[in-house]
Amino acid sequence: MVIGLQHGRSKADRRRGRDKAYDVVERFVQEFKARNKSIVCRDLLGCDISTPGGMEEVKKKNLFTTVCPRFVRDAAEILEELLATER
């Protein structure tokens, strides 16, 4: 959403704004994967949180408090870097 707010469509030139947003999102995904090997929660956590058993395992292992904060930090750092260079 943040990338879309900065680079999304405008009335004057919708296609260029969309293309720029897609480019920045692709770079974000590439960098996140470089740091964490995936962008998929199931892969990052090693559990499928869309299933009751997977959610139970994540909670039992405290992954939301021990692992997820690193992913959020990485996402914020990457976003900050990308948006700073795209102004």
Flag whether the pTM goes above 0.85. Answer: no
DSSP code, position 37? S
What is the extent of the structural domain holding 69?
Answer: 2-85
How many angstroms separate the CA atoms of 29 and 36, rounded? 10
Burial label, 74 (beta-carbon count in 10 A; 0-12, 13-18, 19+): middle
How many angstroms separate the CA atoms of 32 and 65, rounded? 19
How does residue 70 score in pLDDT terms, banded at 50, 70 and 90?
A: very high
| Sequence-distant (≥ 6) Cβ neighbours of residue 61 within 8 angstroms | 47
What are 14-66's pLDDT values in tens digits? Answer: 666 678 888 999 999 999 999 999 999 999 999 999 999 999 999 999 999 99
Structural domains in the chain (count):
1
**82 close to 74: Cβ distance less than 8 angstroms:** no
